[in-house]
Chain A
Amino acid sequence: MVTTKEILRLPESVLPGHAACAGCSSSLGLRYALKALGENVIMSIPACCTSVWQGPYPKSSIAVPVLNIAFAAAASAAAGISAALEAKGNNDTTVLAWAGDGGSVDIGLATISGAAERNDNMIYVTYSNESYSNTGVQKSGATPPGARTTTTPNGRVGFPKDISLIMWTHNLPYVATANTSYPRDFIEKLQKAQQMKGFKFIYLLAPCAVGWRFPSEKTIEVGKLAVQSGAQILWEAVNGDIEISSLSKKYEDPTKRKPLEEYLQYQGRFRGIKPELKQSYKDYIDYQWSIITSLAKIR
């Protein structure tokens, strides 16, 4: 695993002065991603928080080439970039599609599925703040049970879609989940993906201080609690073989997990929700663990 020192020494491609909210983890996430992937990268970014915080024309806070593109088109534009590089005999530039959960799980689902099925050569990162944060925090397909958003003021009813597993069913060379509070794990996963050809998918949980309503200095802590409470399972699948990442491994045992309440306590989005919705979140977490641990046994 890379050391923190090594991470700090890697070149910075997310420049100071960007326009992200205080406590934003998606800007941290991209900072780590571009440290991991280096400078020979071309990005496609659909409508999402990053399309705002990269900053307005004529400046930019992202030091690799970026093609901003429509909401549902991150993966298709990246497929075009990748095909053009191939047509021109360029085999060493990494294509990174960087999209939010709404742009991946909902409006972009067909597009990402198409690119995945074709195994188009790119790394696709869904950085998920579990809502449409950019437009003022509306419910997305990735919003967890019970969470209040501006379109679910009484709390979200029902389970979210698991885009990572949807991607896993596409028989991809690499699928992983990651968390902005664990940069070394995320960087290692990106670097592993970068060595492979084809469609590589990483789901990056990115806590949103504004949308989740926690104090901006709590971003890292909230992210860590997502893993420590078992609410997020970190795993990776190389050529389909799912393996639970070391950071999540011990939480396979539910007694080792921190209480979900500890994860939710900082988050205003869960404040005062009905007990049955909180139970629904717990049920969802148990259900996720049973799926991932079962799938991890398949070889």
Chain B
Amino acid sequence: MTVTNKPPISLGHDDPLTLIISGNHAAAYAAKMARVEVVAAYPITPSTGCIEKVSDFVDGGTMGAKYIKVESEHSAAGALIGASATGARTFSSTSSHGLLYMAELVWWAALARFPTVMSIVNRELAPAWSIWAQTQDSMGLRDSGCIQYYCKNVQEVFDTCLMAYKVGEHEHVYMPSLVCQDAFILSHTSAPVDMPRQKEVDDFLPPYNPKHFKLDPKNPVTHSNLSYPEHFRGKRFNIMESTYRAKQIIKDVCADYKKRFGKFHGDLLDIYGIDAKTKHIIVSHSSIAEEIEVAIDILKEKGYNVGLIRIRVLRPFPDEEFRELCKNIDTIHFIERAPSYGFKGVLAIDTMAALYEGSNHPKAFHHIEGLSGMDVTAEYAADLIEKDLETLKR
């Protein structure tokens, strides 16, 4: 067998570059600079911009990936699994119903330990048809084992896609990643994105060389055949351990990325305006959180000692980190786009479970806001929190 394990040609730039691009294009540039070898994707609004940009790169000869233009998202994920199992670095992008359509194989990729990276544009689920932002699509896959990142701006999308490969391909992790951005608010909004030199990215992210498993006729292995409970249990606990372990690896990779490229968006959590005296914490996610940073400034001016925790990584969940930050606070306020029908919101459920194991149990306020991309302005968010705090005075 003739195997030339060289990364495919990607014509990166020699000098640092700043481009004004959308979140979709930021993910595409990251896939190119990560020297992805196989892309498989199916178009769905609003993630199409990403795969169109990848098509431009591939057809223009600046990205050496094989791009499989599949007939469904289910097949996109199937192809990523096949390619990743063969030792290739893989990429896709999808959204909403597309992600749910491939859900069977997203679970498969995770439970099979294939570290693909997908750019997910968080979009509402129908019915009724809606194309605007909401995070239930990816949060519905919360328990699959995928590492889930929620980005607040376009720069973070670019940086996180690169970091996601580094984390997911770590030999103590080997899990796929979903790098999520809000529909339109990030996917279609252009903002300046600083990109490092290709050589620097190559140093940060060497070619994918799986040590755990690879389809190789010289070393034939049957992957995922029937397993009896005594073997099954071990495989699943291994995933539990690996995803927990990923917490430290995410922290390390974010620190390394900051050192190399000067970009840091928080690691598991992104913290704003919290000090030793903070009594009230807002918990939010995605692009809403960036708006809430302004709300924090407004509230502080009014004399409230309020801070913000943005959940940047939903899985693995930063439970100890939360307990540490919340050990002296009085109230916690959730502002999230992710209802769990029948019981509050996804962020609240997970955060409250984490805090239950700590000694401080702050009073909680729940706000499901921004459904279907509805704007959550800083003033509106500040008003919500002020009203929460007023109720305490009564």
Q: Which of B220-228, B243-251, B286-294, B333-341 contacts A (4 or more CB under 8 A)?
A: B220-228
Residues of B within 8 A of A63 (CB): 220
Is the beta-carbon distance between A87 and B74 smaller than 8 angstroms?
no
**Does chain A have a CB within 8 A of B33?**
no
Cross-chain contact of A65 among B68, B80, B222 (Cβ < 8 A):
B222
Is the beta-carbon distance between A73 and B215 smaller than 8 angstroms?
no
**B 185-225 to A, binary, CB cutoff 8 A, 1 in contact else 0:** 00000000000000000000000000000011101111111
Majority-rule SS of A interface residues? mixed
**Does chain A have a CB within 8 A of B134?**
no
Is the beta-carbon distance between A52 and B88 smaller than 8 angstroms?
no
CA distance A264 to B198 in the complex (A): 67
Nearest CB of chain A from residue B117's CB, rounded to whole Å? 15
Is the beta-carbon distance between B1 and A76 smaller than 8 angstroms?
no
CA distance A240 to B247 in the complex (A): 55
**Does chain A have a CB within 8 A of B358?**
no
Is the beta-carbon distance between B72 and A41 smaller than 8 angstroms?
no
Nearest CB of chain B from residue A30's CB, rounded to whole Å? 13
**Does chain B have a CB within 8 A of A192?**
no
Residues of A within 8 A of B360 (CB): none
Interface residues on B, range: 35 or more
CA distance A70 to B106 in the complex (A): 11
Is the beta-carbon distance between A79 and B75 smaller than 8 angstroms?
yes
CA distance A67 to B85 in the complex (A): 8
Is the beta-carbon distance between B66 and A86 smaller than 8 angstroms?
yes
Nearest CB of chain B from residue A68's CB, rounded to whole Å? 4
A73-B78, A73-B81 known; A93 and B88 CB under 8 Å?
no
Residues of A within 8 A of B108 (CB): 69-70, 73
Nearest CB of chain A from residue B345's CB, rounded to whole Å? 31
A51-B226, A57-B225, A110-B71 known; A67 and B8 CB under 8 Å?
no
Residues of B within 8 A of A5 (CB): none
Q: Which residue of A lies closest to B86 (CB)?
A: A84
Cross-chain contact of A111 among B8, B72, B83, B87 (Cβ < 8 A):
B72
A42-B86, A111-B71, A111-B74 known; A65 and B215 CB under 8 Å?
yes
CA distance A85 to B68 in the complex (A): 13
Residues of A within 8 A of B5 (CB): 88
**Does chain B have a CB within 8 A of A80?**
yes
**A 84-123 to B, binary, CB cutoff 8 A, 1 in contact else 0:** 1111111111000000000000000011011101101000
A-B pairs, top 3 by smallest CB distance, nearest first, are: A80-B82, A76-B78, A114-B71
Residues of A within 8 A of B76 (CB): 76
Residues of A within 8 A of B40 (CB): 76, 79-80, 83
Residues of B within 8 A of A118 (CB): 68-69
A54-B222, A84-B37, A90-B3 known; A42 and B215 CB under 8 Å?
yes
CA distance A86 to B38 in the complex (A): 10
Residues of A within 8 A of B222 (CB): 54, 57, 60, 62, 65-66, 68
**Does chain B have a CB within 8 A of A77?**
yes
Is the beta-carbon distance between B69 and A77 smaller than 8 angstroms?
no
Nearest CB of chain A from residue B263's CB, rounded to whole Å? 29
Residues of A within 8 A of B (CB): 39-42, 44, 51-52, 54-58, 60, 62-70, 72-73, 75-93, 110-111, 113-115, 117-118, 120
CA distance A42 to B216 in the complex (A): 7
CA distance A60 to B68 in the complex (A): 31
Q: Which residue of B lies closest to A79 (CB)?
A: B79
Residues of B within 8 A of A80 (CB): 38, 40, 68, 78-86, 88, 90
Residues of B within 8 A of A79 (CB): 40, 68, 70, 75, 78-79, 82
**Does chain A have a CB within 8 A of B104?**
yes
Q: Which residue of B lies closest to A122 (CB)?
A: B82
**Does chain A have a CB within 8 A of B391?**
no
**Does chain A have a CB within 8 A of B259?**
no
Nearest CB of chain A from residue B75's CB, rounded to whole Å? 4
Nearest CB of chain B from residue A244's CB, rounded to whole Å? 31
Cross-chain contact of A51 among B79, B225, B231 (Cβ < 8 A):
B225
Nearest CB of chain B from residue A277's CB, rounded to whole Å? 35
Name the interface residues of B9-52: CB closer than 8 Å to any CB of A.
Answer: 37-38, 40
Is the beta-carbon distance between A81 and B215 smaller than 8 angstroms?
yes
Cross-chain contact of A67 among B66, B88, B224 (Cβ < 8 A):
B224
Cross-chain contact of A70 among B8, B78, B86, B220 (Cβ < 8 A):
B78
A56-B228, A64-B217, A67-B215 known; A84 and B83 CB under 8 Å?
yes
Residues of A within 8 A of B231 (CB): 57-58
Q: Which residue of B lies closest to A94 (CB)?
A: B217
Q: Which of B64, B66, B74, B79 has the most CB of A within 10 A?
A: B79
